[in-house]
Copies of this chain bind each other. A is one copy, B any other.
Amino acid sequence: MSKKDLQTLKGFRDFLPGQALAREEVFKKIRAVFQKYGFLPLETPVLEYKEILSGKYGEESEKLMYQFKDRGERDVAMRYDLTVPLARVVAQYQNDLAMPFKRYQIAPVWRADNTQKGRYREFYQCDVDVIGSSSIIADAEVIAALAAALTELDLPEFIIRLNNRKLLDAILKNMGLAKGKIVEAIRAIDKLDKIGEEKVREDLALLGLGTEKRKELFEILNLGLEGADDIEKKLMDYEGAGELAQLVEILLDWGVKNFRIDLGLARGLDYYTGTIFEIILPDAPQYGSIAGGGRYDNLVGMFSGKPIPAVGGSIGVDRLLSALEELELIKYDLVSDVLVCNLEEDLEEEYLRVVKDLRDANIKVDFYYTPDKLDKQLKYANKKNINFVVIIGPDEAKNAEATVKNLNTGKQKKLKQKGLGLEIRKI
Contact = CB atoms under 8 A, between A and B. Distances in A.
B9 A253 contact: no
B48 A9 contact: yes
Given A7-B49, A137-B367, A253-B356, A20 B36 contact: no
A45 to B, nearest CB: 4
A369 B137 contact: yes
A375 interface: no
A52 B20 CA distance: 22
A41 interface: yes
Chain A interface: which size bin? 35 or more
Interface stretch (A91-99, A156-164, A262-270, A387-395): A91-99
A112 B70 contact: yes
Contact of A133 (B41, B98, B369, B384): B369
B9 A76 contact: yes
Contacts of A17: 40-42, 103
B45 A23 contact: no
A8 B48 CA distance: 6
Given A17-B103, A367-B137, A369-B100, A353 B76 contact: no
A264 B25 CA distance: 42
Interface stretch (A224-232, A358-366, A396-404): A358-366
Chain A interface main SS type: mixed
Nearest to A23: B43
A1 interface: yes
A16 interface: yes
B359 A37 contact: yes
Given A135-B369, A356-B255, A6 B66 contact: no
Contacts of A255: 356
A35 interface: yes
A427 to B, nearest CB: 19
Given A28-B28, A88-B6, A255-B356, A46 B108 contact: yes
A42 B15 contact: yes
A19 B24 CA distance: 20
A94 to B, nearest CB: 10
Contact of A20 (B13, B42, B367): B42
A92 B141 CA distance: 45
B38 A366 contact: yes
A85 to B, nearest CB: 8
A98 B52 CA distance: 45
Contacts of A36: 359, 362-365
Nearest to A35: B364
A405 to B, nearest CB: 18
A43 B70 contact: no
A83 interface: no
Contacts of A148: 359
Given A1-B303, A72-B112, A255-B356, 14 more contacts: A9-B74, A14-B42, A14-B89, A16-B93, A36-B365, A38-B365, A40-B335, A46-B122, A68-B68, A68-B69, A70-B112, A98-B383, A102-B366, A254-B355
28 contacts: A6-B91, A8-B44, A9-B47, A9-B74, A14-B45, A14-B93, A15-B41, A15-B42, A15-B43, A16-B96, A21-B35, A23-B41, A23-B43, A24-B31, A28-B28, A35-B336, A36-B359, A37-B359, A38-B336, A46-B46, A47-B122, A100-B369, A135-B370, A137-B367, A148-B359, A253-B349, A253-B356, A254-B352
* A-B interface, 6 closest residue pairs, ranked by CB to CB distance from nearest: A68-B68, A17-B40, A135-B369, A38-B366, A12-B45, A15-B43
